[in-house]
Amino acid sequence: MDKSWKQEERNAGSLLNGQRYPANSGGRVDVEGPYFFPQVKHVQRLSLAQLEALAVEMADLGQQRAKDGVVVVKRKAGQGKPTPRLVIMTDEVFERVLKVQRVLGGVGHETVGT
Protein backbone atom coordinates (compact mmCIF):
# COMPACT_ATOMS: atom_id res chain seq x y z
CA MET A 1 0.00 0.00 0.00
CA ASP A 2 1.22 3.51 -0.85
CA LYS A 3 2.29 5.91 1.83
CA SER A 4 -0.32 8.62 2.40
CA TRP A 5 2.07 11.38 1.26
CA LYS A 6 2.64 9.59 -2.04
CA GLN A 7 -1.11 9.38 -2.65
CA GLU A 8 -1.42 13.04 -1.71
CA GLU A 9 1.20 13.92 -4.34
CA ARG A 10 -0.89 12.02 -6.89
CA ASN A 11 -4.03 13.85 -5.75
CA ALA A 12 -2.28 17.22 -6.07
CA GLY A 13 -1.01 16.23 -9.51
CA SER A 14 -4.55 15.42 -10.58
CA LEU A 15 -5.87 18.68 -9.12
CA LEU A 16 -3.28 20.72 -11.02
CA ASN A 17 -3.38 18.61 -14.18
CA GLY A 18 0.20 17.60 -13.53
CA GLN A 19 2.56 14.67 -13.26
CA ARG A 20 4.07 13.33 -10.03
CA TYR A 21 7.85 12.98 -9.98
CA PRO A 22 9.26 9.82 -8.40
CA ALA A 23 10.66 10.38 -4.91
CA ASN A 24 14.15 9.40 -6.04
CA SER A 25 14.29 11.97 -8.87
CA GLY A 26 16.19 14.38 -6.60
CA GLY A 27 14.17 17.47 -7.53
CA ARG A 28 12.77 20.08 -5.17
CA VAL A 29 9.18 19.69 -6.36
CA ASP A 30 6.86 16.72 -6.22
CA VAL A 31 4.58 17.50 -9.13
CA GLU A 32 4.70 19.62 -12.25
CA GLY A 33 1.78 20.70 -14.37
CA PRO A 34 1.37 22.90 -17.42
CA TYR A 35 0.68 26.03 -15.34
CA PHE A 36 1.68 25.27 -11.76
CA PHE A 37 4.90 24.19 -10.09
CA PRO A 38 3.92 22.86 -6.63
CA GLN A 39 5.56 21.51 -3.54
CA VAL A 40 3.19 19.06 -1.80
CA LYS A 41 3.02 18.66 1.97
CA HIS A 42 0.96 16.08 3.87
CA VAL A 43 1.65 16.92 7.50
CA GLN A 44 0.20 17.05 10.98
CA ARG A 45 1.73 20.47 11.65
CA LEU A 46 3.30 23.20 9.56
CA SER A 47 3.97 26.60 11.04
CA LEU A 48 2.88 29.76 9.28
CA ALA A 49 6.54 30.81 9.01
CA GLN A 50 7.43 27.48 7.35
CA LEU A 51 4.46 27.77 5.00
CA GLU A 52 5.40 31.33 4.11
CA ALA A 53 9.00 30.32 3.36
CA LEU A 54 7.78 27.45 1.15
CA ALA A 55 5.38 29.73 -0.73
CA VAL A 56 8.17 32.25 -1.42
CA GLU A 57 10.56 29.50 -2.49
CA MET A 58 8.00 27.95 -4.83
CA ALA A 59 7.10 31.35 -6.32
CA ASP A 60 10.78 31.86 -7.17
CA LEU A 61 11.24 28.34 -8.55
CA GLY A 62 8.03 28.56 -10.53
CA GLN A 63 9.08 31.84 -12.10
CA GLN A 64 12.29 30.17 -13.32
CA ARG A 65 10.07 27.65 -15.15
CA ALA A 66 7.54 30.26 -16.40
CA LYS A 67 4.91 28.68 -14.13
CA ASP A 68 3.14 29.67 -10.94
CA GLY A 69 4.84 28.16 -7.90
CA VAL A 70 2.42 27.05 -5.19
CA VAL A 71 2.31 24.89 -2.06
CA VAL A 72 -0.36 22.21 -1.79
CA VAL A 73 -0.99 21.29 1.85
CA LYS A 74 -3.20 18.62 3.36
CA ARG A 75 -3.30 18.23 7.12
CA LYS A 76 -3.26 14.75 8.62
CA ALA A 77 -5.88 14.85 11.37
CA GLY A 78 -6.05 11.12 12.00
CA GLN A 79 -7.81 8.18 10.42
CA GLY A 80 -11.41 8.92 9.52
CA LYS A 81 -10.98 12.69 9.96
CA PRO A 82 -11.00 14.29 6.51
CA THR A 83 -9.37 17.68 5.96
CA PRO A 84 -9.47 20.00 2.96
CA ARG A 85 -6.56 20.36 0.58
CA LEU A 86 -5.19 23.92 0.56
CA VAL A 87 -3.40 25.61 -2.34
CA ILE A 88 -1.15 28.35 -0.96
CA MET A 89 0.53 31.04 -3.02
CA THR A 90 2.12 34.44 -2.54
CA ASP A 91 0.17 37.55 -3.42
CA GLU A 92 2.34 38.07 -6.52
CA VAL A 93 1.45 34.61 -7.80
CA PHE A 94 -2.21 35.24 -7.01
CA GLU A 95 -2.13 38.51 -8.96
CA ARG A 96 -0.64 36.70 -11.98
CA VAL A 97 -3.35 34.04 -11.79
CA LEU A 98 -6.04 36.75 -11.61
CA LYS A 99 -4.51 38.57 -14.57
CA VAL A 100 -4.62 35.39 -16.67
CA GLN A 101 -8.23 34.79 -15.62
CA ARG A 102 -9.19 38.32 -16.71
CA VAL A 103 -7.41 37.95 -20.06
CA LEU A 104 -9.21 34.67 -20.67
CA GLY A 105 -12.55 36.24 -19.77
CA GLY A 106 -12.76 34.98 -16.21
CA VAL A 107 -14.36 36.70 -13.24
CA GLY A 108 -13.04 40.15 -12.37
CA HIS A 109 -13.17 42.12 -9.13
CA GLU A 110 -16.34 43.94 -10.19
CA THR A 111 -18.44 40.75 -10.07
CA VAL A 112 -17.33 39.51 -6.66
CA GLY A 113 -20.18 39.54 -4.16
CA THR A 114 -22.88 40.56 -6.64
Residue 109 resides in a domain: no
Q: What is the mean pLDDT of the chain?
A: 85
Q: Which domain holds residue 46?
A: 4-89
Residue 54 resides in a domain: yes
Residue 12 phi/psi, 5-degree rounding, is: -65, -40
Give the tens place of pLDDT for each residue, 44-83: 999 999 999 999 999 999 999 999 999 999 999 888 899 9
Residue 95 resides in a domain: no
Q: Are 58 and 70 in contact (CB under 8 A)?
A: yes
The three state secondary structure string of 48-65 is HHHHHHHHHHHHHHHHHC
Predicted local distance difference test score (pLDDT) of residue 114: 44
Residue 51 resides in a domain: yes
Alpha carbons 27 and 52: distance in angstroms, whole number: 20
Predicted local distance difference test score (pLDDT) of residue 2: 59
Alpha carbons 4 and 76: distance in angstroms, whole number: 9
What is the reported pTM? Answer: 0.81
CATH, residue 9: 3.40.1350
Q: What is the pLDDT averaged over residues 86-99?
A: 94
Residue 94 has, within 13 A of its CA and on its CB side, a CA count of 8
- Work out how many domains the chain is built from and give that number: 1
Predicted local distance difference test score (pLDDT) of residue 106: 60
Residue 104 resides in a domain: no
